[in-house]
Amino acid sequence: MAAEPIIHIKDVHKHFGRVQALRGVSLDIFPGEVVVILGPSGSGKSTLLRCINHLEVCNSGQIIVDNIVLKSAENINAVRREVGMVFQQFNLFPHLTVLNNITLAQRVVRKRSPKESEDVAMDLLKRVGLESKWESYPAQLSGGQQQRVAIARALAMNPKIMLFDEPTSALDPEMIKEVLDVMTSLARDGMTMVVVSHEMGFARAAATRCIFMDEGQIVEQGHPDQLFDHPTQDRTRLFLSKVLQS
């Protein structure tokens, strides 16, 4: 494993009013790792993910992404260029076609030419199996297709890290697989990924590390086989017994 972590999180606290979302989280993520974060709702896993690209600003502690300390507006944008994010609700731009959804940020942020950004977009659409949909609008696509477009949109910026915030939670069961397949193939290609998800199958198949969070803290972490089959903490065992039952 590479010596230098690409994401360095140190003693991060975050509260929303009186609610304490993160209580001193420290975590190093190395290039090429696929980290799946598990935990009950309200455990702070989404907040942690959103702190990494500064959609939430942590109250104390330090986050270093790709050797850039998150501080001023400029370096936040510098970090965000390197970090792709996929949301639970897809958040595609409804007024733009699939193609323009993927080319917009390339043009205005990366300053690519229309031709170049369209070539990138079509390559990525092919990769997620939607090259025939380039002219469609988001509302014409199924949830699974929208999420695959959202993944392509994030990849178009050539990020070094991909964050997934419950990417399959808003999907019908039969569409989950098509999204997970794309994510698994990304993981296999060596993308550094941080995934908040309840998909145990994906965690086992693709994750290099699983993290269990509860009440704003990391309770336990380890290789998925170890964490799922031999959890050391009672809290983890209780959670897993409930999740794996269903």
Partner 1 sequence: MPAPKFTKYFGRIFAGREDRSDPSRGKNELKLIPGNELPSQLDAWWWLVAAVAIIIVLLITLQPDPYWHILRFVRDGLAMTLLLTIISFIFTLLVGIIGGLGRIAKNPVIYFISTIYVEVIRGIPLLVQLIWWYFAAPVAIRTFGEWIGFAPLAEYRSNAFVLAVVGLVICYGAYMSEIFRAGIQSIAKGQVEAARSQGMTYMQAMRYVVLPQAFRVVLPPVGNEFIMLIKDTSLVSAVAMADLTRRGREYMAANFNPIETWTMVALLYLIMTLFFTRILVWFEKKKGYEK
Interaction of residue 55 with partner 1, rule CB under 8 A: yes
Interaction of residue 30 with partner 1, rule CB under 8 A: no
Among 131, 141, 143, 147, which Cα is nearest to 99's?
131
Sheet holding 192-196, edge to edge: 83-86, 161-165, 192-196, 34-38, 209-214, 217-222
CB 81, min distance to partner 1, A: 4
Query: Which of 89, 132, 142, 233 touches partner 1 (CB under 8 A)?
Result: 89
Interaction of residue 151 with partner 1, rule CB under 8 A: no
Interaction of residue 154 with partner 1, rule CB under 8 A: yes
CB 208, min distance to partner 1, A: 24
Interaction of residue 98 with partner 1, rule CB under 8 A: no
- Is the CB of 49 or the CB of 210 nearer to partner 1? 49
Nearest 5°: phi and psi at 29? -120, 130
Interaction of residue 132 with partner 1, rule CB under 8 A: no
Interaction of residue 153 with partner 1, rule CB under 8 A: yes
Interaction of residue 140 with partner 1, rule CB under 8 A: yes
Interaction of residue 77 with partner 1, rule CB under 8 A: yes
- Is residue 243 within 8 A of residue 203, CB to CB? The reply is no
Nearest 5°: phi and psi at 154? -70, -40
Tokens 């915030």 found at: 165
Interaction of residue 233 with partner 1, rule CB under 8 A: no
Interaction of residue 84 with partner 1, rule CB under 8 A: yes
CB 224, min distance to partner 1, A: 27
Residue 174, class by beta-carbon neighbours within 10 Å (0-12 exposed, 13-18 middle, 19+ buried)? exposed
The site that binds partner 1 (CB under 8 A) totals a number of residues, namely: 28
Interaction of residue 80 with partner 1, rule CB under 8 A: yes
- Is the CB of 64 or the CB of 105 nearer to partner 1? 105
Binding stretches for partner 1 (CB under 8 A): 53, 55, 73, 77-78, 80-81, 83-85, 87, 89, 91-95, 104-105, 108-109, 137, 139-140, 150, 153-154, 157
